[in-house]
Structure 1
């Protein structure tokens, strides 16, 4: 039985990448050691992390005045690092269009009890269960504000922000965890981008931070480990980094480059997601909870049947048929197909055939 992994993260990785890592696992580059045994101060690992950065810069066309950091703690740690480094004595605006954006804002509010800054809720769609991207007011943003925080893809709710607001020069900071390298954004439109690796980049454990140099903090942050400037000055080697995860990210970057780069990835992702959206739209049995088609994610596609009992039956039958991890997030229920870069189009086609059979059986 063929297994298709629809997990929202940690997620499917390219088979070619896994095979290369397997081949090099015991003896990396004739070193006689596994990558997991290499010192992070060794020449072998120095080559790995430098190549990873160079490849990411090429893929995303990252300008020279941006630093690229490979950090730990997941994107959730960035919810704290961001205001600690950038927002002291200033306002910080938050667009809350999903559960992760809400967590980022909630963490900012918590920090504001002890750190001198003002988190401001700029826009939210929580009152309708995050079924759309809210209109983002562009007038009234304090020009001296530290940043406007957005989440470019809402993994749980299946919405994406494609058109950025005009913030009149206030830096846009983006949590791009679930559609980095999947949608072709212009890095220079952002002051900072951060992303957990476990969707489109590699295994869990690495966090990518892309930050414009003028935004690096001049005053020390609360902790050296949470200090962007210290991390940048030490080239992500202030302490032992997640060496194997960075190596895997490098292999993924190489793979994406071979496939044609980020623009090609977006083209393929729109093709994959389009097949599923078209099927849902023509069905009287399945429906999408996303209110507006223009907000639909190409990475995470939630859908439901006519009732929760059928949702439960679908998830059980799908799992038995080899469609793994398709159950929706516990906070929203239903189903969710995560179609990241490494997910094959054959898996979408197989899912559509299964959905058609299930509908005919339970209509």
Structure 2
């Protein structure tokens, strides 16, 4: 079986050993005589799996008992809507670090006043601003922890006196941080933690107590907590894929080991960029560089198109930059192996030798 080097920005690769291990469960999950996509979400087998998934998250993230964990369909777009609908009472602050923060802010604007607490637009979102201006009566500050399009990532989180909500879709469980400092974390799982189709939301109980209850039930976080993510039929397979990925992370040595692995991968690619004497031009400022998404340019669009074509010929998939900014992008999510990053780094060096 041929496997390519998958550097897509999402959905992204899953470890081959995880995929291989899922085969039996597709036809006979827990000796039920039914596959994981066939079992009832009201069954004991599903409930046990759901409980285990939440327990693994709590363990790996070292979460206190102050948090509820729910799983919601609709991906990031639904979370852009729900965060504002539930928690925006007067006004909300958004850290302006790129497209996904814009989308969240614009969705929340349907429900109240929103404003930028800062902005990196002046340098084409190539850095993470180090200050936030919070206005009186602000309900929360919303940040996007890792910006996939521009290749920037928070290495120091804001210190503010209002609830902090973080979209961690593209760097969740890629490194060890204090997750308990956030009032809410949400993430689509399809980059680091499983198959596309569900977002996990981790919400502090104190924040939940402030959530609106005069809105449609399906858009209330408290309803998902009350119904234990089964208000309607949940995305069973997606939650199962998350469960398998959490076991894999635990078996790899937890977040400490995963972080070291991700450091190695990012360094391999950034070193090629930094040592290319300008042949490769990184977009993000060094202090704000993402480990998950390495963004860079070549001399012109034609050369970038050629790079993508030559990369595909060598089984490197997904290295074209986002359509909004162009250029090139290498995504190095948890399941991307160090060997894949090393092989790509060698390809980049050879491409520079031939075309430089």
Partner of 1:9: 10
Q: Distance in 2 between matches of 1:87 and 1:275?
A: 42
Please point out which of 320, 324, 328 is paired with 2:317.
Answer: 324
1:144-293, aligned counterparts within 5 Å?
Answer: 144-168=137-161, 170-216=162-208, 217=210, 219-284=212-277, 285-290=279-284, 292-293=285-286
Q: Deviations over 1:39-85 (max 9, x none)?
A: 00000100110110000110111110100011110012111111111
For 1:80 and 1:3, locate their aligned partners in 2 and report how far apart those are by CA, in whole Å. Answer: 36
The structural deviation recorded for 1:221 is 4.3
Determine the structure 1 residue equivalent to 2:39: 38
Residues 84 and 107 in structure 2, CA contact (< 8 A), matched pair in contact too: no
CA distance in 2, matches of 1:82, 1:318: 39
Which structure 1 segments of 5+ residues have no match? none
Could you tell me which residue of structure 1 aligns to residue 127 of structure 2? Answer: 132
Per-residue deviation, residues 301-337 of structure 1 (Å, max 9, x unmatched): 0111111111010001101110011111111111111
CA deviations on 1:168-218 (whole Å, 9 max, x unpaired) are: 2x1110000000000222121110000001000111001010000111145
8 Å CA contact 1:157, 1:302 repeated in 2: yes
CA distance in structure 1 between the partners assigned to 2:129 and 2:77 by the alignment? 22
Q: How many equivalent pairs are there?
A: 353
**Are the structure 2 counterparts of residues 340 and 221 from structure 1 closer, same or farther at C-alpha, using a change threshold of 3 Å?**
farther
Give the conservation status (yes or no) of the 8 Å contact 1:84–1:221: no
Runs of 4 or more, structure 1, over 3 Å off, are none
- C-alpha deviations, 1:136-188, integer Å up to 9, x for none? 235x543x4211000100011100012112102x1110000000000222121
- TM-score, normalised to structure 1's length? 0.95
* Contact 1:160–1:295 (CA under 8 A) maintained in structure 2: yes
> Residue in 1 aligned with 2:95?
95
Is the Cα contact below 8 Å between 2:88 and 2:108 reproduced in 1?
A: no
Give the match's secondary structure for 1:120: strand
Q: How large is the RMSD of aligned CA atoms in angstroms? A: 1.3
- 1:53 match: 54
Aligned mates of 1:350, 1:221 — CA distance in 2: 54
Q: Structure 2 vs 1, CA of residues 362 and 30 (structure 1 numbering), >3 Å: closer, same or farther?
A: same
TM-score normalised by length of structure 2: 0.96
